[in-house]
Amino acid sequence: MEKCNQCNEHEASIVLTTNSAKEYFCRSCYNHRMADELGIEYKEQINSFSVMDHSGEKRHFEVEEHLHPEGFYIEARESQQDGYLFAVDGELHEKIERLIAKLKNKVKRGVSQSFIQVSSFPNGEIVHRLKRDQLLGRIEYDEEHTGPKVIVDGRRYSWEELGRMLLTYEGFQIKIETTDPTGEIE
């Protein structure tokens, strides 16, 4: 991976290509360049924070701020693989401090509820099932199984595992609703 052309410290995660050259930027340097080009003040807020989840477990989140011509996109991704992910967006004129507070509140609400109950049969077999006839999570590509995976309660479930949980509802109707990561699902 290339190093950032601006700071020469961090790995580049963004490549800008022009007719004559490629420029490599880390997220921080890119955001500062965008702020200069857009004529706005920009100061990075936080890199990470932790919250307690529904079971009392401490969850650690890495924060990435993305500044683009239309506004801000700020994402909090749990440090563990296949963990929680939350995001907010806002206009350029909005205070980034307010967007960070909005993101933290969204994370706290999200991790405070649980959708899957884990229990075991008398023979010791572990079973996962929906707690309240609904679940909330996100869908991603699973390279290991070359298909979809679903992240619920900060845990990865294969498409097959999700299907087994839903078999309890055989004969029922089902509603699937999606929204982008910045949206709210009630």
- Interval 71-129: pLDDT, tens: 999 999 999 888 999 999 999 988 889 999 999 999 999 999 999 999 888 898 888 99
Joined together, the tokens standing for residue 119 give 């229990």
pTM of the entire predicted model: 0.86
Could you tell me the pLDDT band of residue 1, with boundaries at 50, 70 and 90? confident
CA distance 91 to 184: 17
Supply φ then ψ for residue 12, to 5 degrees: -75, 135
